[in-house]
Amino acid sequence: MELLHKGFDAIDIAYPAHLPEILIAKLSNAKDLALASNAPTQVLLNGLPFNVALTGARGGYAFRCDTGPLGEVWFFKLPNKRDPWGIRVSVAAVQVALRGLHGIRDHLENKLAALGVPLLPGTESIARIDFALDFLAPNFVLSTDQFVMSQRFARMRHGDLLTYKEGGQTGRTTSVTIGKNPGRQVIVYDKRAEILAKKKLYWPEIWNTKRRRAGLPELDMSDADTSRVWRVELRAYKRHLKDDWGVSSWGQLQQKLPTIFGTLLEDVRYCQPNGDSNRSRWPMHRLWNRVAQELRDDLSNLQSFASEERILELQRAELMQMIRSQIAGCLLTLLALNRVDPKNLSEFLAQESRALSDRFREHPEKTQAKLAKAMARYP
């Protein structure tokens, strides 16, 4: 059972602050342009690029902005003295893995400083923290019957025990989820299957970086028998953090995280059946023992040594492959609509290419504007 990766996987955080009025005005203009063009519009806020969406978000956020596939999603409210919580950030899982907890904190606070947002240390409110461990374990078989929940888990607030979800294929369980937002959650699932299904083909670079550093060969993702990776993901949401542990700030989180996740592992155990009719006496499975062991290390300085440039390159390649597949599908539809003989495919494609070029040349300003937006979204 080889550990391929461990680290934080998601962070949501809110700040009791608002953007300066001059930046709010820029966001309003960008949102109007996004609505007019029916596409996100890029804006520079004190030199920082943000892609402004057509809509805001629930909770009173007027603006929703992202900073790219490896970045964050920022939510901003209109300034209101009666509501100090004007900024919320959700950080992409890949960025959390690459930077680690300390790196993410510095990254966000540096951006807020650049935006001219004053912060008082310790006033932030962390709304979610996920921790993930990926194990190369091709022979592991996940079973719902081997999860044992303590009475304490059932008694804690927010109805943790009310949600128990199972996912899988015929004859095989591929995921089990216990608990729910806004409390806490444990998920065990086939990470290899998930990244192949969702086309997250950049994620193996994180695993392979660790293997290369250890002198091991890269995983062959086409061979399930040698590349099956199982993830154990521990999630703590706002109500559990704040009400059960008194955690809101970075300092409180760093101090209590090992205990928070350690307690979760005790309250939800994956066990090895031993014939005892009393499930509570079953010993912990070696997977759970390994997770508990890994959580005893210092968690705050964890980060992957994978290259951000390489991850971005792989993401670009995946996106280009997806777009080419879409283009191919559209062209086949055009072939069918025009009743084109497949033998004349090359001639038809050349004809359509010329037509597109003519269309771009006839509308240069519109073409340039759309191209600029696409380049801003995929820098």
pLDDT of the residue at 165: 56
pLDDT of the residue at 160: 44
CA–chain centroid gap for 7, Å, is 13
pLDDT of the residue at 287: 95
Q: Which residue type, as a one-letter code, is found at position 84?
A: P
Condensed to tens digits (0 to 9), the pLDDT of residues 307-324 reads 666 666 666 766 677 677
Query: How is the chain split into domains, by residue range?
Result: 17-119, 128-306, 310-377
What averages of pLDDT result for each successive group of 10 residues across the chain (379 residues)?
A: 89 95 95 88 91 92 89 94 94 84 91 93 92 93 87 52 54 84 89 87 86 92 92 93 92 89 91 87 93 82 64 68 76 82 83 83 78 66
Q: CA 102, CA 86: separation in Å to the nearest integer?
A: 23
Contacts of 341 (CB under 8 A, 6+ apart): none
Condensed to tens digits (0 to 9), the pLDDT of residues 283-315 reads 999 999 999 999 887 776 666 666 666 666 666
Q: Give me the DSSP letters along 250-274.
A: HHHHHHHHHHHHHHHHHHEEEB---
Q: CA 252, CA 125: separation in Å to the nearest integer?
A: 10
Query: CA separation (Å) from 92 to 11, 73, 283?
Result: 8, 8, 36
Contacts of 120 (CB under 8 A, 6+ apart): 16
Specify the DSSP class assigned to residue 282.
Answer: S
Q: Answer for the pair 180, 160: CB distance below 8 angstroms, yes or no.
A: yes
Q: CA 149, CA 88: separation in Å to the nearest integer?
A: 33
| 329 phi, psi to nearest 5 deg | -65, -40
Buried b (16+ CB within 10 A) or exposed e, 149-180: beeebeebebebbeeeeeeeeeeebbbbbbbb
Angle between helices 308-337 and 93-114 (to 10 degrees): 110
Q: CA 168, CA 137: separation in Å to the nearest integer?
A: 17
Q: CA 307, CA 186: separation in Å to the nearest integer?
A: 29
pLDDT of the residue at 97: 82
Q: Which residue type, as a one-letter code, is found at position 297?
A: D
Q: Answer for the pair 224, 97: CB distance below 8 angstroms, yes or no.
A: no
pLDDT of the residue at 277: 85
H/E stretch holding 31: helix 21-37
